[in-house]
């Protein structure tokens, strides 16, 4: 066998209290699309950060084409032909594409030459992009193109992609895959990080599975079923949530003709949104991030006030009611951003239980706070939702992302909502916890609550929703029955390929 492009040998990295990678070894061949598969917290990010020179391994070594490779910083890794597209883009909204790319270069050429180069590379790889457009006006898929082209300009030997499809519609995913396959045919290796099994099966030549920081197995995705890979990833068989047959009641929440201007320059305006949810119904709202999800949640939580009639609960206009009054009526919400929005990072879990629980759990009387009962409520959330923490006196920020998510979701679910609105319920949560959160949402609906679940995880939405609608540039598509929807139809509801062209290869 020939020398692999990159060989990882016994990489270990420990952080205080946790071993992120334990003795991980695998090889990435030339021109290979290699999948790195694992749950949140399995150590994927730490591993690629070591390859990219952001983190130094405690022990073990890497060989690049047979020679010792120990990048001290990303610049060194880039010089050796390693490029990376991060999950979160680092782009300046107010600058145009070419300026953004120039900012990341060691010694940027003249702006006109750079623009010409960007055009050339983008056309070559089927990712057309106008170098003079302002990044703030681009869709998430187009922003990702900027990042990819920024990498391709360096002529990389290894391209690392961290969960690239999480911001794309199914149609945009197809375009991306064409590009990646073209790159592979030119001999570029790709390290593809994901937990979406089907896309790994269509795209990748080889897969390495990480669990709890260790390499637990390798496979050829095309020859392995998705459930086999899932078992490798999770370490046990997954329970799929059960949907009890349930009766739909009357309309619980009704939004009609709702338009809200964008709260900030690069935010999203909501345009003429209509939706209804009945008691016992789960409405899934899909869409690529940044198409109005936060704004829709704000309108429902009462953070953004609207005309009274635009939002109705049980037929009563509530558009002008603030968060506290809405909670009193039984409309509860769980925002996406856990730290700083759903929870105050430096406050204890007890205080965070007080944050939304004071009205419905009776944690205050005449304005005076009952801390004992708040602590008991926090304890109950911790117990019922299996939140891993020494106790409710700990600060919210000391919890891992997944555990805090369980706390935030549990806090609302346990308050017996009449209507629950939840944005990204299982974002950053491991597979078993995600399935218990979904089960809790389903149980809530079975008990007669109306649920709006906003998510970017289409599989999740298909698993739990009764009806489905998608947000695209602040517009909500007409809700449709979720059973029988195909991936193509969903993709079109989400805005299709947003007018992006397919690779001409």
Partner 1 sequence: MIMLEKRPQPSRVWSMATPLVAVLATMFFGGLLFMVLGKNPVEAIKTIFYEPLFGEFAFYYRPQLLVKGAPLVLIAIGLSLGFKAGIWNIGAEGQYIVGALVGAGVGLAFYPLEAWYVFPLMVIGGAFGGWAWAMIPALLKVRFGTNEILVSLMLVYVAEQFLASMSLGLMKNPDGFGFPGSRNLNDYASANSWISQDTGMHWGVVAAFIAVIFSYILLNRHMLGFHIRLTGEAPRAAKFAGVNPKRLVVFVLGMSGALAGLAGLFEVAGPSGQISLNFNVGYGFTAIIVAFLGRLHPVGILLAGGLMALTYIGGEIAQSNLGLPASAIQVFQGMLLFFLLAVDILTNYRLRLSAGKVA
Which listed residue (14, 248, 355, 462) binds partner 1 by CB under 8 A? 355
Residue 143 binds to partner 1 (criterion: CB under 8 A): no
Beta bridge partners of 458: none
Which listed residue (22, 134, 154, 398) binds partner 1 by CB under 8 A? 398
Classify 63 as helix, strand or coil: strand
Which listed residue (322, 362, 372, 391) binds partner 1 by CB under 8 A? 322
Of 196 and 370, the one with the shorter C-beta distance to partner 1 is: 370
Q: What whole-number distance in Å separates Cα of residue 171 and Cα of residue 262? A: 27
Of 356 and 435, the one with the shorter C-beta distance to partner 1 is: 356
CB atoms within 10 A of CB 410: 24
Residue 356 binds to partner 1 (criterion: CB under 8 A): yes
> Which structure tokens are listed for 425?
């319920």
Residue 323 binds to partner 1 (criterion: CB under 8 A): yes
Please provide the DSSP assignment of 334-353 as one string: E-S-TBTTTB-TTSBHHHHH
- Smallest distance, partner 1 to C-beta of residue 335, A: 6
From 145-153, 267-275, 319-327, 459-467, span contacting partner 1 (CB under 8 A) = 319-327
Q: What whole-number distance in Å separates Cα of residue 465 and Cα of residue 425? A: 13
Which listed residue (49, 78, 327, 406) binds partner 1 by CB under 8 A? 327
- Could you give the string, one character per residue 362-381, with x where binding to partner 1 holds by CB under 8 A and - elsewhere? --x--xxx-x----------
Task: Please report which residue ranges of 105-139 form alpha helices under DSSP H.
Answer: 111-124
Query: Could you give the angle at the alpha carbon of 312 between the alpha carbons of 307 and 315, nearest 5°?
Result: 130
Structural contact between residues 117 and 153, judged by C-beta atoms closer than 8 angstroms? yes
Q: How many CA atoms lie within 13 A of 264 on its CB side?
A: 9
- Smallest distance, partner 1 to C-beta of residue 306, A: 15
Structural contact between residues 281 and 469, judged by C-beta atoms closer than 8 angstroms? no
Of 80 and 337, the one with the shorter C-beta distance to partner 1 is: 337
Residues in the interface with partner 1 (CB under 8 A) total 37
- Smallest distance, partner 1 to C-beta of residue 308, A: 18
Which listed residue (72, 110, 245, 264) binds partner 1 by CB under 8 A? 72
Residue with tokens 């009357």: 250
Residue 354 binds to partner 1 (criterion: CB under 8 A): yes
Rg of the chain (C-alpha set): 24
Residues in 21-60 that interact with partner 1 by CB under 8 A:
56
- Smallest distance, partner 1 to C-beta of residue 40, A: 19
Which listed residue (4, 131, 302, 392) binds partner 1 by CB under 8 A? 302
Residue 496 binds to partner 1 (criterion: CB under 8 A): no
Kindly tell me the burial class for residue 504, based on how many C-beta atoms sit within 10 Å of its own C-beta (0-12, 13-18, 19 or more).
exposed
- Smallest distance, partner 1 to C-beta of residue 347, A: 6
Question: CA of 290: how far to CAs of 54, 143, 266, 286, 321, in Å?
Answer: 28, 12, 9, 11, 25
Of 62 and 230, the one with the shorter C-beta distance to partner 1 is: 62
Structural contact between residues 4 and 27, judged by C-beta atoms closer than 8 angstroms? yes
From 185-193, 318-326, 450-458, 487-495, span contacting partner 1 (CB under 8 A) = 318-326
Q: What whole-number distance in Å separates Cα of residue 116 and Cα of residue 130? A: 10
Of 141 and 302, the one with the shorter C-beta distance to partner 1 is: 302
DSSP label at residue 196: -
Residues in 332-351 that interact with partner 1 by CB under 8 A:
333, 335, 337, 339-347, 351
Question: CA of 14: how far to CAs of 19, 49, 172, 211, in Å?
Answer: 4, 13, 37, 15
> Which structure tokens are listed for 82?
């390693």
CB atoms within 10 A of CB 416: 14
Of 252 and 342, the one with the shorter C-beta distance to partner 1 is: 342
Of 187 and 322, the one with the shorter C-beta distance to partner 1 is: 322
Residues in 400-459 that interact with partner 1 by CB under 8 A:
none
Residues in 253-282 that interact with partner 1 by CB under 8 A:
none
Residues that bind partner 1 (CB under 8 A): 16, 56, 70, 72, 301-303, 322-324, 327, 333, 335, 337, 339-347, 351, 354-356, 358, 364, 367-369, 371, 394-395, 397-398
């Amino acid at each position: 066998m020939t020398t692999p492009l990159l060989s990882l040998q016994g990489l270990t990295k420990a952080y205080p209290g946790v071993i992120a990678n334990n003795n991980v070894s695998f090889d990435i061949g030339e021109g290979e699309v290699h999948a790195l598969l694992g749950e949140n917290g399995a150590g994927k990010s730490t591993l690629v950060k070591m390859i990219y020179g952001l983190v130094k391994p405690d022990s073990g070594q890497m060989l690049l084409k047979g020679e010792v490779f120990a990048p001290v910083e990303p610049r060194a890794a880039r010089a050796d032909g390693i490029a990376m597209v991060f999950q979160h883009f680092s782009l300046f909204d107010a600058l145009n594409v070419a300026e953004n790319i120039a900012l990341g270069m060691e010694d940027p050429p003249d702006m006109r030459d750079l623009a010409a180069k960007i055009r050339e590379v983008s056309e070559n790889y089927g990712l057309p992009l106008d170098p003079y457009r302002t990044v703030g006006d681009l869709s998430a898929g187009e922003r990702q193109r900027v990042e990819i082209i920024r990498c391709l300009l360096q002529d990389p030997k290894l391209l690392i992609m961290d969960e690239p499809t999480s911001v794309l519609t199914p149609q945009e995913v197809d375009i991306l895959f064409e590009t990646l396959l073209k790159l592979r045919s030119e001999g570029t290796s790709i390290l593809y990080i994901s937990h979406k099994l089907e896309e790994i099966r269509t795209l990748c030549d080889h897969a390495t599975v990480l669990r709890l920081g260790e390499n637990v197995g390798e496979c050829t995705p095309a020859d392995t079923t998705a459930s086999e890979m899932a078992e490798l990833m999770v370490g046990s068989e997954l329970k799929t949530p059960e949907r009890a047959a349930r009766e739909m009641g009357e309309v619980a929440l009704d939004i009609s003709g709702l338009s809200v201007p964008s709260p900030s320059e690069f935010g999203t305006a909501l345009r003429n949104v209509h939706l209804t949810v009945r008691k016992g119904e789960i409405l899934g709202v899909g869409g690529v991030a940044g198409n109005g999800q936060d704004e829709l949640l704000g309108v429902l939580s009462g953070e953004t006030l609207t005309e009274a009639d635009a939002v109705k609960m049980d037929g009563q206009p509530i558009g002008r009611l603030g968060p506290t009054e809405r909670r009193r009526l039984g409309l509860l919400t769980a925002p996406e951003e856990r730290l700083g929005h759903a929870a105050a990072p430096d406050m204890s879990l007890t205080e965070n239980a007080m944050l939304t629980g004071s009205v419905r759990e009776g944690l205050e009387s005449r304005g005076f706070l009952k801390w004992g009962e708040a602590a008991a409520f926090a304890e109950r959330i911790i117990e019922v939702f299996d939140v891993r923490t020494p106790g409710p006196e700990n600060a919210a920020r000391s919890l891992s992302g997944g555990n805090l998510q369980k706390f935030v979701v549990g806090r609302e679910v346990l308050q017996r909502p009449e209507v629950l609105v939840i944005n990204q319920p299982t974002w950053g949560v491991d597979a078993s916890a995600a399935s218990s959160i979904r089960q809790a949402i389903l149980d809530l609906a079975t008990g007669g609550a109306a649920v709006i679940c906003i998510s970017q995880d289409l599989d999740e939405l298909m698993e739990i929703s009764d009806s489905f609608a998608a947000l695209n540039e602040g517009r909500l598509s007409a809700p449709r029955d979720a059973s029988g929807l195909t991936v193509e139809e969903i993709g079109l509801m989400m805005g299709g390929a947003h007018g992006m062209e397919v690779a001409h290869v």
